Amino acid sequence: MTANLTKQTDFDAIIIGGGACGLMCAVQAGFLGKRTLVLEKNDKVGAKILISGGGRCNYTNLYASAQQFISDNEHFCKSTLSQWTVDDTVSFFETYGIIGKEKTLGQLFPESDNARDVVKVFTSLCADLGQEIWCDAEVKGIEQVDNGFIVSLERNGRTENLSVPKVVIASGGLPIPKMGATDFGLRIAKKFGLKINDTAPALVPLTITGKDQPWYEQLSGNSIFCRVWNDRISFEENILFTHWGLSGPAILQISSYWRPGEYIYIDLLPNQSIAELILQEREANGKKMLLAYLANLFTRKFAEALSDKLPVDKNLASLNKTDLESINSLIHEFKVKPAGDKGYDKAEVMRGGVSTDELSSKTLEVKKIPGMYYGGECVDVTGWLGGYNFQWAWASGFVIAQGL
Ligand SMILES: Cc1cc2nc3c(=O)[nH]c(=O)nc-3n(C[C@H](O)[C@H](O)[C@H](O)COP(=O)(O)OP(=O)(O)OC[C@H]3O[C@@H](n4cnc5c(N)ncnc54)[C@H](O)[C@@H]3O)c2cc1C
């Protein structure tokens, strides 16, 4: 009979989700003398922190600003990001023993290269500050009552109903379901009539099917520094050919801006002109075969793969204007129409989510439901690859804590 009784708790808030946002929120609330309970569905907290950045956790980006976040309202994240800045992230972790080292493009990782150290900061601080964490506790629902909320959860095979004045929904997005990702945040938003912006996998590899697929497959494993663009954005980083399509940082970045049916464009030799390079080379070495020249510029495998698209068996001296034009357009404007993406199993984040229209940009409180807050990946704020998503998660956790 205990199953359906509601227990009045003395917590100031219940935080649903022991991920980046929820853990930061619990710690910051603790600093302010507030007591919180973190409910985590998995048997341990911080599962995504542990696998992030290949187990090394790219925990922020030195250049983070509102420009690297995608949202229906591009201004929404500004207040949160200014209340908890990159410097705040860096000094917070430094205070608790994590020194950052920049790998590339402002991406900061712990010097130890160990994401466990990041999670340990939060579990130690929660213990020191008396913030409770219950693992294996899956929240099933939230009811709004006169003095707050009733949170229903399942723990040890039993249903428990906890009454609390405030709730924080930090249950993350849909990527990697096998690691505990749920649609809880979206389900609750729907139940309370909050607008949800279309969700889709983002920072995700793109697939190629049909007659073009074997071409990509033969190049599997080849990585090339490129500029990848569409009509919205452009990124200069590596792309990686795989047996099912394209991956690598530049592809993950553009995937967040790609919609099914659209093309993406790839400059395989950014900031140089292949036509000019060939004209220079043929002055000195006109007998050189185009194949050998391209193999030198790229890889042999890549040059060979171009044999069905370019006259690679001609020598440089015999290339005519039309040849040079087709080389130029293939190298500098390689056109790709992905069939789709690898889905939530391979995506790093979810794009879309709870509409920012529903939240106060200053506090992240749901405008029409006082005492309910949304943070982290549930919200329609999606960062680029490179530590931006954690910066948003830490910052939103901090901001919510100020209001509890
Ligand atoms: C493979 C991979 C690598 C990544 N690497 C990076 C990186 O290096 N840098 C970066 O900035 N970002 C990275 N990200 C993105 C980053 O992990 C997320 O943006 C971030 O974790 C979001 O934080 P969050 O707190 O909103 O959600 P999460 O960290 O996902 O936490 C949500 C938590 O809520 C729990 N939960 C869900 N539903 C319930 C429920 N009903 N009841 C109780 N608990 C529930 C989940 O189990 C989870 O622990 C990576 C993502 C992936 C998948």
Q: What is the set of domains in the chain, with CATH numbers?
A: 3-200+349-403 (3.50.50.60), 205-342 (2.40.30.10)
Within 8 A by CB and 6+ apart from 342, the residues are 201, 204, 205, 206, 207, 244
Cα(353) to ligand 1 centroid in Å equals 14
Closest ligand 1 atom to 376 CA: 26
Secondary structure of residue 171 in the 3-state scheme: coil
Task: Give the closest residue (by CA) to ligand 1 atom 51.
Answer: 348
Given a contact cutoff of 8 angstroms between Cβ atoms, the answer to whether 168 and 375 are in contact is: yes
Please report the pLDDT score of residue 335 as a whole number: 95
Ligand 1 pocket test target in 389, 398, 400 with most atoms within 8 Å of CB: 389
Cα(115) to ligand 1 centroid in Å equals 13
What residues are in contact with ligand 1 under a 6 Å CB criterion?
16-22, 39-42, 47-48, 51-53, 57-58, 138-139, 170-172, 175-176, 180, 182, 184, 348-349, 376-377, 387-390, 393
Cα(112) to ligand 1 centroid in Å equals 21
Q: In whole angstroms, what is the distance from residue 275 CA to residue 328 CA?
A: 6
End-to-end CA distance of the chain: 32
Q: What are the tokens at 62?
A: 């030195």
Phi and psi for 387 in degrees, rounded to 5?
A: 100, -5
Please report the pLDDT score of residue 4 as a whole number: 65
Q: In whole angstroms, what is the distance from residue 27 CA to residue 314 CA?
A: 66
Within 8 A by CB and 6+ apart from 283, the residues are none
Q: In whole angstroms, what is the distance from residue 187 CA to residue 135 CA?
A: 21
Q: In whole angstroms, what is the distance from residue 196 CA to residue 211 CA?
A: 37
Ligand 1 pocket test target in 21, 45, 52 with most atoms within 8 Å of CB: 52
Please report the pLDDT score of residue 180 as a whole number: 86
Cα(180) to ligand 1 centroid in Å equals 9
Closest ligand 1 atom to 377 CA: 26
b/e per residue, 214-243, with b = 16+ CB within 10 A?
eebeebeebebebbbbeeeebbbbebbbbe
Cα(396) to ligand 1 centroid in Å equals 13
Secondary structure of residue 41 in the 3-state scheme: coil
pLDDT tens, residue order, the chain (404 aa)? 344 689 999 999 999 999 999 999 999 999 999 999 999 999 999 999 999 999 999 999 999 999 999 999 999 999 999 999 999 999 999 999 999 999 999 999 999 999 999 999 999 999 999 999 999 999 999 999 999 999 999 998 999 999 999 999 999 999 999 998 999 999 999 999 999 999 999 999 999 999 999 999 999 999 999 999 999 999 999 999 999 999 999 999 999 999 999 999 999 999 999 999 999 999 999 999 999 999 999 999 999 999 989 999 999 999 999 999 999 999 999 999 999 999 999 999 999 999 999 999 999 999 999 999 999 999 999 999 999 999 999 999 999 999 99
Task: Give the closest residue (by CA) to ligand 1 atom 5.
Answer: 52
Residue type, 94: E
Strand bridging mode 107-110 / 100-102? antiparallel
Ligand 1 pocket test target in 24, 93, 348, 354 with most atoms within 8 Å of CB: 348
Cα(181) to ligand 1 centroid in Å equals 8
pTM for this model (two decimals): 0.96
Please report the pLDDT score of residue 2 as a whole number: 42
Cα(234) to ligand 1 centroid in Å equals 26
Given a contact cutoff of 8 angstroms between Cβ atoms, the answer to whether 179 and 368 are in contact is: no
Cα(242) to ligand 1 centroid in Å equals 26
Task: Give the closest residue (by CA) to ligand 1 atom 10.
Answer: 387
Closest ligand 1 atom to 47 CA: 49
Q: Percent helix, strand and coil across the chain, each rounded to 5?
A: 40, 25, 35
Cα(132) to ligand 1 centroid in Å equals 19
Cα(20) to ligand 1 centroid in Å equals 6
Closest ligand 1 atom to 46 CA: 49
Residue-level length of the chain: 404
Q: How many CA atoms lie within 13 A of 360 on its CB side?
A: 15
Q: What are the tokens at 326?
A: 């087709």
